[in-house]
Structure 1
Amino acid sequence: MKRCLRIRVVMGRDRISELPEELLLKILSFLPTKTVISTSVLSKPWRSLWKLVPKLEFDSQDRRTAENVGRSLLLHKAPVLESLHLTGLCDDIDVGLWAGIAFARNVREFLLQVWIPFSMPVTFPSSLFFCDTLETLKLKNPPIEIDVPSPVSMKSLRTLHLEYVTYKDDESICNLLSGCPNLEDLLVHRGYPNNVMNFVIVVPSLKRLSIKDFTGGRNGGYVINAPSLKYFQIERLSGYELCPIEDAPELVEANIRNVSNIVNEKILGSLKSAKRLSLDLSPLEIKCPAGAIFYQLVCLEMYTHKAKWWNLLTIMLDSSPKLQVLKLIDQNQDSSKDGVVGGKWKEPKRVPECLLSHLETFVWTRYDWRREEEKVVAKYILRNARRLNKATFSTRPIESKKKLEMLNEMNGVVKASYSCHLVFE
């Protein structure tokens, strides 16, 4: 439904225009920028009101639209621009012009997501990295290149998203991040081309870090030093050296997915302070350092589509004495499990402490009761989890007869917890 600005005229009076300008600007800031600009034709008092609206969003569809965006930005007069979002098609010259105007207006949130036809990557003006009013910077898509030859200054920047931009060299990353002393949220998505060998992230204030890498790096790596880190996510990291995250005592949640061929096998040891973990790892490639204990871990989510995944489960159960919630997920949509080799799960020599005294919730999504190793794992947990309150099994669609067979088999397991409630979905 399209939103529009309605003006109510009562007894020949324009009542809305009598509202305080501050309130009018706040109302206009919730409307699409195209609609806001169109209000300039309503009456003389409205002719310039749009120029003071603190939030703007432009979507450029062609060359003519891009020129209109530039003209609109030049006419804008707000002393502080709270947010500016620029998306769509443009020429390389527009990037510098738009960003320059925004930063001159003391912009606090700047998003640039553009496509430049038939162009090499456009260098984001390094002079704009000296802006102490900017709090959020989001650069998206391949046409943008980061070239920062020397340290910068962005003292107010707290959120930085770099999605599939390119980088001139390793130093550009170091110089950019070193100039953001209050950065809290960093998102890095990388693709081709790749000019960075060592991606160094040294940010003492950083609380949230998300990395997604499609470059398939070789002879390079990530170095992460973020002692205030609370939320950490890595996805599709392949072939890199990942140095262990230096001490992160405040880590709350970590999500490690689609990681393979990692040179350094100490990923898990870097996450020992986490309270919640989501792991999509192969135990054939990733090992847990001897003696690593997840003393604070209360919720573990594991994916079961990798070869001998149950060996990693054994390690995690034995290393997580306070675990309360265990979730197993098979992300495959069909019944086949590509790459999963046969084998037999070996029960732990002693029952893990978490099963004896803490585990309360067990969830298995896309549980395949026909696979022997899955039945063995499920029955083991039911037989040994003394404080288990609820165990939920959801399966792929199966015929009623086979589902009844599964229900009878699971209900027949002697459970360690008399209060355990079995749920089948």
Structure 2
Amino acid sequence: MLWPQWFCLSGGSFYGWLVPRLLYDDRHQNIKKESFSRFVDRSLLLHEAPILDYLHFKLSQESSAVDIGVWARTVARRHVRELAFLSNCPILEDLFVNRCPDDNVTVLTVRVPSLKILYMRYHKDSYGGEAFVMDAPSLETLTIDDCSGLCRCKTQWLNLLMCMLRASPKSRSLQLYQKQGYQADQPNPIWSELSLVPECLLTSLETVEWTNYEGTKEEKEVVEFILRNSLSLTKVTISSKPRHPEEKLEMIKELALSFRRSPICQLVFD
């Protein structure tokens, strides 16, 4: 274990922590969890450096999520410049990532072979070109809550959607929700049909829900592409709120006549 330098008085009291870089490692077998937690708690509270440049936790499976949360909040008040967690959890299946405002992590990397559920939340004020790299071959559910990323007003969002499907070979459900209506001064989204069909369409995708579908040419082509190539599709739900009833009727007619590769696929209009 690597311990940061400290000064010790009688009775085990600490004072005068001024080092700008701290590393804590509890992965050694001879370290008790309670002793490690107490040491981290006391050392962080007594740290007196004006700026904490770097804080690194190497944690075993026995580490408490409560402890980690307390430590993170403590160092946040110390203006930490860089925080790294290396968690030894080879059987992790469910991960929630909450990207906070002023987050300085530009590329978030998730490489977990056992991961099945990944939920990522981005806050509007935190978006500044961040990206993520994902290597999770067992992933079944991916949820990205991002008000500033995959947005209807971006002209490339349809192609980005296809890239996400291509990178999610085991996806079973796709939900699209458009929070903003189309504006006349916005350019139409760019859509280029893929030469290679995403694997999830051929093997696993079962349900699609599209809320606030607007029936643009590009959106219609995306729905038709999914219907035409999805072998396991059971239900596609389209929800739209056109300004005129005639527009919705036309949308229904166009999609109802589209070819469906899956013989059991139901097309539902809400």
TM-score range, shorter chain: 0.5 to 0.7
Between the aligned partners of 2:184 and 2:118, the Cα distance in structure 1 is 26
Q: Distance in 1 between matches of 2:100 and 2:186?
A: 19
1:316 maps to which residue?
164
Residue 128 of structure 2 is matched in structure 1 by 261
Contact 1:147–1:169 (CA<8 Å) still a contact in 2? no
Q: 2:253 aligns with which of 397, 408, 416?
A: 408
Out of 99, 124, 142, the position equivalent to 1:235 is 99
Would you say 1:183 and 2:47 are equivalent positions?
Answer: no
Runs of at least 5 residues in structure 1 that lack an aligned partner in the other structure: 1-130, 136-145, 151-166, 206-225, 286-301
Corresponding residue number in structure 1 for 2:176? 328
Pairing partner for 1:357 from 181, 203, 221: 203
Q: Identify which of 375, 389, 406 aligns with 2:234.
A: 389
Classify 1:413/1:241 alpha carbon distance in 2 versus 1 (closer, same or farther; 3 Å).
same
The one-letter code sitting in structure 2 at the alignment partner of 1:411 is A
Is the Cα contact below 8 Å between 1:147 and 1:172 reproduced in 2? no
CA gap of 1:355–1:172, structure 2 versus 1, over 3 A, is closer
1:309 & 1:331 partners in 2: Cα distance?
13
CA distance in 2, matches of 1:232, 1:349: 33
- In 2, distance between residues paired with 1:389 and 1:193? 50
In structure 2, what is the Cα distance between the partners aligned to 1:339 and 1:269? 35
8 Å contact from structure 1 (residues 254, 271) kept in 2: no
Structure 1 residue 235, shift from structure 2 partner: 3.2
* 1:354 shift after superposition: 2.0
In structure 2, the CA distance between the partners of 1:273 and 1:416, relative to structure 1 (3 Å rule), is closer
1:170 aligns with 2:16: no
TM-superposed CA distance for 1:316, in Å, is 2.0
Please provide the CA RMSD for this pair.
Answer: 4.2
**Distance in 2 separating the partners of 1:338 and 1:281:** 24
Shift of 1:336: 3.5
Q: What is the TM-score with the length of structure 1 in the denominator?
A: 0.43
Pairing 1:122-271 to 2, within 5 Å after superposition: 132=34, 147-149=45-47, 169-170=51-52, 174=56, 181-184=62-65, 195-204=79-88, 228=92, 230-236=94-100, 240-242=104-106, 244-245=108-109, 247-258=111-122, 260-262=127-129, 265=131, 267-271=132-136
The whole-number CA distance in structure 2 between the counterparts of 1:406 and 1:197 is: 52
In structure 2, distance between residues paired with 1:178 and 1:193: 22
Measure the CA separation in 2 of the matches of 1:313 and 1:189: 35
Cα distance in structure 1, aligned partners of 2:185 and 2:120: 19
Q: Structure 2 length as normaliser, TM-score?
A: 0.64
Shift of 1:373: 1.8
Map 1:274-289 onto structure 2 (within 5 A).
274-280=139-145
Per the TM alignment, residue 147 of structure 1 is displaced from its structure 2 partner at its CA by: 3.2
Paired residue secondary structure (1:279): strand
Aligned-pair CA distance for 1:405: 1.6
What number of residue pairs does the alignment pair up? 225
Q: Distance in 1 between matches of 2:52 and 2:254?
A: 58
Question: Aligned equivalents of 1:189 and 1:272: distance in 2?
Answer: 32
Structure number, greater radius of gyration: 1
Letter in structure 2 aligned against 1:322: K
| Distance in 2, Cα, partners of 1:180 & 1:408 | 55
Higher RCO structure (Cα 8 Å, ≥6 apart): 2
SS of residue in 2 equivalent to 1:310: helix
Give the conservation status (yes or no) of the 8 Å contact 1:308–1:341: no
Aligned to 1:380: 225
Distance (whole Å) between structure 2 residues aligned to residue 303 and residue 236 of structure 1: 19
Deviation digits for residues 122-148 of structure 1 (CA, Å, limit 9, x no counterpart) = xxxxxxxxx949x9xxxxxxxxxx735
Offset, 1:182 = 2.0
The answer as to whether partners of 1:368 and 1:374 remain within 8 angstroms in 2 is yes
Deviation digits for residues 181-220 of structure 1 (CA, Å, limit 9, x no counterpart): 5224655689x97712102223436xxxxxxxxxxxxxxx
Cα 1:316–1:172 change in 2 (3 A) is closer
* CA shift in 2, pair 1:357/1:408, >3 Å: same
